[in-house]
Amino acid sequence: MELAIISDTHVPGRASGIPDWVRERAEAADHVVHAGDFATDAVVDEMRALADGAFTGVRGNADGRAVDLPPVATAELGGVEFVVTHGTGDRIGYEDRVVDAVASHGGPNAVGVAGHTHELLDEVHDGVRILNPGSATGADPATETTMLTATVSAGDIDVTVHREDEW
């Protein structure tokens, strides 16, 4: 199973739209995970359409009540449990907040997916793997436009970073 992992699109506030290369990877994936800060329900609908309904998403701090998604969602995909949260708050303590969300909502081997910082991250913190795809539109304060894909099968996960200039 192939996942497209996206976050912090901020359309239309900080970006004019989802880049074509991100759209194409999302359409090709079996499931799309978005870690929040869409900015509008229209972008949520666009991501759901790209995913052909195979979609897990959460509300970010820039979404407010306009986006009708939960603050935390879980999904079992390819034998891997994902806990998706935005990670809202100060940069200091970010990893701890994501780990806390995973501990509260997932099992012992769950993977945390979060956004908010607009910085790529794939690391283990306090025994929990945390994935942050950065910003799929390069929205400020990002220094580049990025997303992740993950191949998941029988509980194994292989993550790949994608940058705009590689497409």
pLDDT category at 167 given cuts 50, 70, 90 is very low
H helices present in the chain, as ranges:
20-28, 41-50, 94-105
User: Would you list the domain boundaries of the chain?
Assistant: 2-166
8 A C-beta contact, residue 148 and residue 157: no
pLDDT category at 166 given cuts 50, 70, 90 is low
CA triple 45-157-146, angle to 5 deg:
50
Residue 44 pLDDT more than 90? yes
Mean pLDDT for the chain overall: 94
| DSSP single-letter state for residue 138 | -
CATH of 2-166, one of 2.40.30.10, 3.30.750.24, 3.60.21.10, 3.40.50.1440: 3.60.21.10
Angle, helices 41-50 vs 20-28, to 10°: value is 50
Residue that wins the pLDDT comparison between 81 and 65: 81
pLDDT in tens, 106-148: 999 999 999 999 999 999 999 999 999 999 999 999 999 999 9
In the block, residue with structure tokens 């004019």? 16
Helix (H, G, I), strand (E, B) or coil at 98: helix
User: Cα-flanking dihedrals φ and ψ of residue 64, to 5°?
Assistant: 60, -160
8 A C-beta contact, residue 30 and residue 1: yes
Is pTM, for the whole model, over 0.85?
A: yes
pLDDT in tens, 75-104: 999 999 999 999 999 999 999 999 999 999
Distance from C-alpha of 144 to C-alpha of 1, rounded to nearest angstrom: 27
Distance from C-alpha of 109 to C-alpha of 97, rounded to nearest angstrom: 17
